[in-house]
Chains A and B, each alone.
Chain A
Amino acid sequence: AQSVAQPEDQVNVAEGNPLTVKCTYSVSGNPYLFWYVQYPNRGLQFLLKYITGDNLVKGSYGFEAEFNKSQTSFHLKKPSALVSDSALYFCAVRDKSGGSYIPTFGRGTSLIVHP
Chain B
Amino acid sequence: EAQVTQNPRYLITVTGKKLTVTCSQNMNHEYMSWYRQDPGLGLRQIYYSMNVEVTDKGDVPEGYKVSRKEKRNFPLILESPSPNQTSLYFCASSLFRQGHTDTQYFGPGTRLTVL
Contacts and interface: CB of A to CB of B under 8 A. Distances in A.
Contacts of B103: 34, 46, 49
B74 interface: no
A112 B105 CA distance: 24
Main secondary structure of the interface of B (DSSP, over half): strand
A105 B33 CA distance: 13
Interface of A: 32, 34, 36, 41-46, 49, 90, 94, 96, 98, 101-103, 105-108
Interface string B71-115: 000000000000000000010100010011101111111000000
B60 interface: no
A94 B100 contact: yes
B34 interface: no
The 7 closest A-B CB pairs, nearest first, are A107-B42, A43-B106, A44-B106, A105-B43, A43-B108, A108-B42, A46-B103
Contacts of B42: 90, 105-108
Nearest to A32: B100
A46 B105 contact: yes
A42 B43 contact: no
A38 B25 CA distance: 19
A107 B100 contact: no
A46 B104 contact: yes
Given A94-B100, A101-B100, A102-B45, A44 B90 contact: yes
Nearest to A109: B42
